[in-house]
Copies of this chain bind each other. A is one copy, B any other.
Amino acid sequence: MRLRLTPRDTTYYDLFAALAQHNVTGAGLLAELLGADKAERRSIAERFVEVEHEADDATHAIMRRLNQTFVTPFDRDDIYGLASALDDCMDSMEEAADLIVLYKVDALPARVSEVVQVLQRCAELTADAMPRLRSMEKLADYWVEINRLENQGDKLHRKLVAELFDETTDAIQLIKLKEIVDVLEDACDAFERVANMVETVALKES
């Protein structure tokens, strides 16, 4: 358990905010990885594994609290769902980083950076929104914008896949790049699931 917060000073809101902040760090490492040469990549990937462990700890802290307390600020299922969805964002981003290193990919298509920028923006907006769960106010802008970003990410993904099939003649290279690109799309979807969970919670409480 690497998370510094002691049970006394944490609340679900603090834990969600910590988890969302790990996703900002993760999305930043992913952007760093794209600009790195092969020597730097391994150390970035190692830092990523650490961040993912911290996010796991934060998720477990939420689950443990959920299993051991009766009073929760909103529906137990929604707390569980929100924590899981935030954790899925991290898992997909870490998987993409891991595949880039594991597959020893030389150059990624330029458009991949655009997808990672979308992920960075999603991560920041999500981290900004978490503290507002306390009041349940001013959250609609957040989920509308995430849905717009996911849509943009989806369009980028489709273009990327079409380009890969048009331009890659080496099937093994294609398998590698397609898997990386698909996992980045999974990360976009995971941020959308977080936004959908927040919308659900906000609607129930309103």
Interface residues of A (CB under 8 A from B): 63-64, 67-68, 98, 102-103, 158, 161-162, 165, 168-169, 171-172, 174-176, 178, 200, 203-204
Contact = CB atoms under 8 A, between A and B. Distances in A.
Q: How many copies does the complex hold?
A: 3
A64 B162 CA distance: 36
A176 B102 CA distance: 19
Contacts of A200: 63, 67
A160 B165 CA distance: 22
Nearest to A64: B203
Contacts of A162: 102
Max count, chain B CB within 10 A of own CB: residue among A168, A172, A174: A172
Nearest to A172: B171
Nearest to A158: B102
17 contacts: A63-B200, A67-B203, A67-B204, A68-B203, A68-B204, A102-B161, A102-B162, A103-B165, A165-B172, A165-B176, A168-B172, A169-B172, A171-B172, A171-B175, A172-B174, A175-B175, A175-B178
